[in-house]
């Protein structure tokens, strides 16, 4: 690769004395919270759940329990459309026909006249019975009733499918047959984090005495107070247990028989009727919003891949520029960063790829912060020592002065670049609005990337490659750069 020092800011102007700073302050919006949680819920397939810590009970309903607003839906639709445009512009060769088709279908989803209601809950809580009974009830809206697989049966894949079905529905009836278990509470929270509308149904209430029923209902209300309103907790008995009926016959004898009482679900029917009358439109918005967010996530992943493919050669380029500069003009470890390792121009270039705009001044300040952080975290010290010891080892018979600095500069530049990629990627997934530079999040990325790239084999390989470069030997495309 022909590396030229054509960008003078690379080696000058960056000082470490600049204090930590933040760009614009964090913007905490409802959308942000919702999307974050939703993405968490949606990665369930991969086994990751963004489990929120169980917070103190008896709080008012959280923001997550509010219906999805029209503006939020529109924002999500605009975002996914923008992403599709970005993808088309940045990766014209990628086949995104299927994604596009689904995106184009989103507006038609909003025209739906039929609703889908999922009936979920643990094993044998009465899902099938209730699904059948409801299917026979009359509602103003056409409803597609769908029973999910049983939750909490330690068959992970089934539970994942059940949650996915619940998330894809417009409304979820979450059945319990008594008090709520911790596992049920977790799932309820996950559904609510995806802004899913949930009614908590206390079925089989016929199995309890009136006092017990009241007690259980109170318990349920308290337990879910943060996420489900009291009117959305409904007690029913879908298949009440048979009762003994005594009938006096004409001849005076008494005949005993067991009879099956009718389903007691009228309060559920009336709650559903109210919800359908008032919220049908919002329910459809919310489902469409969830679909849009999921598509957005898919599009992001493709886009991030594409951008990463473009970003890696940029990092490679700067890492060798940094190496050459530090090799030619060896300086103390700390100045290394100021001089070369953390390149302002690299930040500007990577920012360009990830559509994160930096003014030169912002980039300088940011790289100052980055450099300081690397020193504070001990990365500079650790890597220069490791590199020096590799260089001293038998593997290298001839090492010129300045080699430690040169290799270290390259290595640190690489770490900084890869961390920026990780940071930009994640930031974009979480937000549309410009968020401030989140130092804590970036620090976490830096540490993670550093650890990933600290493996001895990788370092050895990197050092060899760097030394070859500095001593004028060129290697064919490196294996070092494939590790990230």
Ligand X SMILES: Nc1nc2c(ncn2[C@@H]2O[C@H](COP(=O)(O)OP(=O)(O)OP(=O)(O)O)[C@@H](O)[C@H]2O)c(=O)[nH]1
Nearer to Mg ion, 127 or 464 (CB): 127
Composition of the chain by helix, strand, coil, percent to 5: 60, 10, 35
By a kind-dependent CB cut-off of 5 to 8 A, residue 240 interacts, out of ligand X, Mg ion, none, with ligand X
* Signed CA dihedral, 430, 431, 435, 437: sign only: positive
**CB of 129: closest distance to Mg ion in angstroms?**
8
Helical packing angle, 266-328 and 156-168, nearest 10°? 110
| 408, 387 contact by CB (below 8 A) | yes
Minimum gap (Å) between residue 233 Cβ and ligand X: 16
* Binding of residue 127 to Mg ion (CB under 5 A): yes
Minimum Å gap between C-beta 294 and Mg ion is 27
- Cα–Cα distances (Å) from 324 to 330, 382, 402, 410, in that order, read 10, 21, 10, 8
Q: Is 126 in the site for ligand X (CB under 6 A)?
A: yes
Give me the least distance between CB of 144 and Mg ion, in Å please: 17
Give the nearer residue to Mg ion in terms of CB position, either 127 or 204.
127
- Rule CB under 6 A: say whether 128 interacts with ligand X: yes
What whole-number distance in Å separates Cα of residue 463 and Cα of residue 146?
59
The 3-class secondary structure across 348-379, one letter per residue, is HHHHHHCCCCCCHHHHHHHHHHHHHHHHHCCH
Question: d(Cα 218, Cα 204) in Å, to the nearest integer?
Answer: 16
The reply on whether position 366 binds ligand X by CB under 6 A is no
Radius of gyration for the chain, computed over Cα atoms and rounded to the nearest angstrom: 30
- For residue 239, the minimal CB distance to ligand X (Å) is 4
Kindly tell me which residue out of 29, 62, 81, 128 binds Mg ion, with binding defined by CB under 5 A.
Answer: 128
* Residue number with CB closer to Mg ion (119 or 418): 119
Q: What character string, x for contact with ligand X (CB under 6 A) and - otherwise, covers 202-231?
A: -xx-xx------------------------
Report residue 228 as tokens. 């489900």
Among residues 237, 418, 466, 470, which is the contact residue for ligand X, using CB under 6 A? 237
Instruction: Please select the residue that binds ligand X; options are 77, 83, 150, 459, rule is CB under 6 A.
Output: 150
Contact set for ligand X, span 238-267 (CB under 6 A): 238-241
Size of the site for ligand X (CB under 6 A): 17
Beta bridge partners of 200: 174, 233
Residues at the site binding ligand X, with contacts judged by CB under 6 A: 123-129, 150, 203-204, 206-207, 237-241
């Amino acid at each position: 690769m022909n590396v030229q020092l054509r960008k003078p800011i690379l080696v000058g102007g960056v000082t470490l004395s600049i204090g930590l700073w933040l760009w614009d302050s964090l913007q905490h919006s409802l959308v942000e919270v919702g999307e974050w949680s939703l993405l968490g819920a949606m990665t369930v397939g991969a086994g990751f759940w963004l489990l929120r810590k169980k917070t103190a009970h008896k709080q008012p309903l959280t923001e997550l329990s509010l219906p999805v607003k029209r503006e939020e839906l529109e924002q999500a639709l605009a975002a996914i459309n923008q992403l599709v445009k970005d993808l088309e512009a940045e990766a014209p060769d990628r086949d995104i026909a299927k994604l596009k088709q689904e995106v184009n279908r989103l507006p038609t989803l909003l025209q739906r006249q039929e609703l889908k209601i999922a009936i979920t809950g643990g094993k044998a809580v009465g899902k099938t019975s209730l699904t059948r009974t409801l299917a026979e009830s009359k509602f103003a809206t056409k409803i597609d009733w769908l029973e999910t697989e049983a939750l909490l049966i330690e068959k992970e894949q089934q539970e994942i499918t059940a949650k996915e079905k619940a998330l894809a529905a417009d409304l979820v009836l979450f059945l319990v047959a008594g008090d709520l278990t911790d596992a049920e509470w977790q799932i309820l929270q996950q559904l609510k984090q995806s802004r899913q509308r949930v009614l908590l149904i206390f079925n089989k209430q016929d199995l309890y005495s009136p006092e017990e029923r009241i007690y259980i209902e109170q318990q349920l209300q308290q337990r879910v107070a943060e996420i489900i309103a009291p009117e959305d907790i409904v007690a029913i008995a879908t298949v009440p247990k048979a009762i003994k009926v005594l009938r006096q016959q004409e001849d005076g004898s008494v005949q005993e028989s067991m009879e099956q009482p009718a389903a007691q679900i009228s309060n559920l029917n009336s709650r559903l009727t109210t919800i359908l009358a008032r919220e049908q439109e919002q329910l459809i918005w919310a489902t469409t919003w969830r679909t849009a967010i999921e598509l957005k996530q898919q599009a992001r992943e493709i886009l991030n891949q594409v951008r990463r493919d473009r970003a890696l050669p940029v990092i490679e380029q700067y890492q060798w520029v940094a190496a050459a500069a530090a090799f030619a003009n060896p300086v103390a470890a700390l100045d290394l960063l100021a001089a070369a390792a953390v390149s302002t121009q690299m930040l500007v270039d990577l920012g360009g790829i990830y559509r994160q705009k930096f003014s030169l001044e912002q980039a300088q300040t940011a790289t100052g912060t980055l450099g300081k952080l690397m020193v504070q975290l001990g990365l500079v010290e650790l890597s220069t020592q490791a590199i020096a010891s590799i260089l001293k080892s038998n593997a290298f018979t001839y090492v010129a002065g300045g080699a430690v600095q040169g290799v270290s500069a390259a290595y640190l530049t690489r770490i900084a670049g890869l961390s920026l990629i990780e940071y930009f990627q994640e930031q974009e997934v979480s937000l549309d609005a410009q968020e401030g530079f989140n130092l804590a999040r970036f620090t976490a990325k830096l540490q993670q990337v550093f650890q990933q790239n600290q493996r001895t084999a990788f370092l050895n390989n990197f050092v060899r490659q760097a030394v070859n470069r500095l001593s004028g030997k060129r290697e064919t495309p490196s294996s070092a750069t494939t590790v990230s």
